[in-house]
Chains A and B, each alone.
Chain A
Amino acid sequence: MASLKGLIDVLTLGSERPLRRLLAYYALLALLLYGILQAFPVVENLLLGSGLSDLVTSPTVLQDGLAGQQPGAAPDVAVPQLGLALVTLLTMLGALALMLPVSWVYMSARKARGHDQTVAQTLIILPVVVAGVVLVVQNSLALAFSLAGIVAAVRFRTTLRDTRDVVFVFVAIAVGFAAGVQALTVAFIVSAVFNFVLLFAWHYDFGRNALEPTATAQWTEPLAELAHQGEDAVPDRDLALALTPEKAARLAERFERVSNMLGAKKKKPKYNAILTITAEDTGKAQQSVEPVLDESAKRWKLDAVEKNDGKPSSLYYLVRLRKTSSEADLLTAVRTSAGENIADAVVEMGGASEKANAKASKGE
């Protein structure tokens, strides 16, 4: 599975876009099939629905029923049995390979509400079983009736959490059926068309009710909750609701930096401030800022450098100020030392430091 993922990564240049990854998977599958067909042309029968009506096109020698066999005895069919085993194996593997992407799409499509693991597993097991059953029944009306009888006797009643999952189960049955009648080409097309149609419908939010919020708008709901609920509520509600996914991602990065600065819970923070330097030349900025930090800070580290195309870059330092230094002292020292090497400098103080500063100011 890891090597398959690696191959898909190579084909998609590491893209995580589901459409590209699906295309890559189907391309790989088609390539593999082509290779197998080149090596074993007999496999072609598995692709064209020959199970529906496989016809004898070349003369076949019949077994002699009187040569060393009792009348009515089963013929020696060792080689056909091997062929049957191979056909069965390839049919089932084909069904499995074609249902894997459907199960991936299922898991992706149900990400928001959480997918049902039993359904995901059913999606890859069901077609394999269906293909096996169809292979057994083939064109026998008698076996088909027997199967109907057995299925009627053994009832499975499962309530699906999401009724839309039924569509996936139908696809699993269709793929299994097509594979069972040795029409893997049909199974391939069913699987691919279903996946791509679903992805397009998902991507373009097909069938959206104009009175309901868009899919893009829906993602802000958790943000709204964040703005309203609990003691961790974001103070500025309007700011939270105005966020776009890109802005939220950048904000998350900043939150992570603050979190790093504060360190683990119930421990004294290792750093108590973030110094953000904006500069065109980060090298010169570093040369002029870091000596100041050596003097003013108890400890510091360069947390991140953000290069922005066509805009000044940003340097983020995590800093533990000396007790004798304040936020204003640091800013003054940095700006004096760096001069025109930097465009801007900002210090954000952590909560613990703010309290310390407040105490210090009271003492004064």
Chain B
Amino acid sequence: MRSRSRVALLALLTAGTACVRAQEPSSAGRARAATLLVQRASRLEQALQQPVADSAADLPLARWLLPLKLAEVSGLALDRADRLFAHDDENGHVFEIDYRRGLLVKEFLVGPRGLLADFEGLTIVGDVFYMFTSDGRIFTFREGGAGARVSYAVHDTRLGRECEFEGITYDATIRSLVMACKHVGIKNLHNHLVIYRWKLERGQGDRLSRIAIPEAQVIGANDWKKFEPSDITVDPATGNYVIIASQQKGLVELTPAGAVVRSEPLPEGPLMAEGVAITRDRLLIISAEATAGSASLSLYRRR
């Protein structure tokens, strides 16, 4: 009996060793991964250069499945060099993702032990990150290295009562943070798409301004009952605001003045689109939370 248990213990140890060894990438594995990444990048470049019919424009060029830690991926943001950053919903983890090659580059944490808040959006101005919560608080910090924990400052816009926010972006032309409102708390604006703008620099006049567009204009010919934004971004080519809504699976483009440019269904893809970003080379990136499978990052041509 005792020898049997010793054999079982030995077998367990061997299995454990095998498991651990399986976790450690070999040099051959690293070489394979490097080749794969090169192939992915060139495949995307080729796809972008090929002319595509309108019917195929909605098909994703690439889709990367995100790890479990990003199951509740919330906002997306591009920096000056078009590096993509994403964050999770409630813990203050920020990830850099190489969207062209499908590589999770690094992760850093806001605060020494992270933050517990309902994070809904991220934008980057210069080298300062602005992470926004649904109750209107803005956490500012700088980029951290891999595995770093960065310090932060917090500013409360005190707009939490007026609005439940779901997305933030930066409009460089007016040097303002632009924040989309999902649920409006102001009675006479209930049937409006409300967007707040907050100037980063103090100057003459109010730092805070608001645009409200009647929902009927936003919905247009679509069969949505209302439009509840999930994220907002600025199209670098036109300067227009592009807003997505996961509930309605819709995409709306507005001019900074509030005129609706287009209103259409989101490209074909996973449910629960929670983040949007547009690159300078016309890639529309949409992140989706995990529902049945895993969270994902989908790349489309920007029409």
Contacts and interface: CB of A to CB of B under 8 A. Distances in A.
Interface in A65-104: 65-66, 69, 71-75, 79, 82-83, 85-86, 89-90
Contacts of A139: 90-91
Contacts of B116: 141
Interface stretch (B105-113, B235-243, B258-266): B105-113
Interface in B133-172: 146-149
A73 B293 contact: yes
Contacts of B20: 40, 42-43, 86
In the complex, which of the residues A62, A69, A83 has the most CB atoms of chain B within 10 Å of its own CB atom?
A: A62
B33 interface: yes
B185 interface: no
A71 B296 contact: yes
The size bracket of the interface on B is 35 or more
B181 to A, nearest CB: 23
B60 A83 contact: no
A153 B62 CA distance: 45
B147 A55 contact: yes
A79 B67 contact: no
A59 B22 contact: no
Given A53-B114, A58-B146, A63-B64, A83 B19 contact: yes
Contacts of A74: 292-294
Contacts of B91: 53, 139
B23 interface: yes
A59 B109 contact: no
B113 A64 contact: no
B275 interface: no
Given A61-B33, A139-B91, A89 B16 contact: yes
Contacts of A60: 67, 103-104
Given A53-B114, A72-B271, A86-B20, A64 B102 contact: yes
B104 A64 contact: no
Interface in B60-78: 60, 62-67, 69
Nearest to B144: A55
Contact of B109 (A55, A61, A65): A55
Nearest to B61: A66
A52 interface: yes
A57 interface: yes
Nearest to A65: B63
B297 to A, nearest CB: 8
Contacts of A61: 33, 36-37, 102-104
B108 A55 contact: yes
Interface residues of A, number: 33
Contacts of B298: 65
B229 interface: no
Interface string B43-73: 0000000000000000010111111010000
B121 interface: no
Contacts of A90: 16
In the complex, which of the residues B24, B65, B107 has the most CB atoms of chain A within 10 Å of its own CB atom?
A: B65
A75 B106 contact: no
Contacts of B147: 55-57
Contact of A55 (B33, B93, B297): B93
B64 A85 contact: no
B16 A59 contact: no
Given A53-B113, A72-B293, A73-B293, A59 B102 contact: no
B291 interface: yes
Contacts of A71: 63, 268-270, 296
Contacts of A72: 270-271, 291-294, 296
B40 A82 contact: no
Contacts of A62: 64-67, 97, 102-104, 297
B269 A56 contact: no
B144 to A, nearest CB: 9
B17 interface: yes
B129 interface: no
Contact of A42 (B24, B93, B108, B294): B24
A56 B22 contact: no
B130 interface: no
Contacts of B269: 71
Interface in B201-253: none
Nearest to B91: A139
30 contacts: A40-B17, A42-B23, A53-B149, A55-B93, A55-B107, A56-B95, A56-B106, A56-B107, A56-B146, A57-B106, A57-B146, A59-B103, A59-B105, A61-B103, A62-B64, A62-B66, A62-B103, A62-B104, A62-B297, A64-B65, A66-B63, A69-B65, A71-B63, A71-B296, A74-B293, A75-B65, A79-B23, A83-B23, A85-B19, A86-B20
Task: Give 5 closest A-B pairs by Cβ, nearest first.
Answer: A65-B63, A57-B147, A56-B107, A62-B64, A55-B147
Interface of A: 39-40, 42-43, 52-53, 55-66, 69, 71-75, 79, 82-83, 85-86, 89-90, 139, 141
Given A55-B109, A57-B147, A61-B33, 5 more contacts: A42-B24, A71-B63, A72-B294, A73-B292, A86-B16
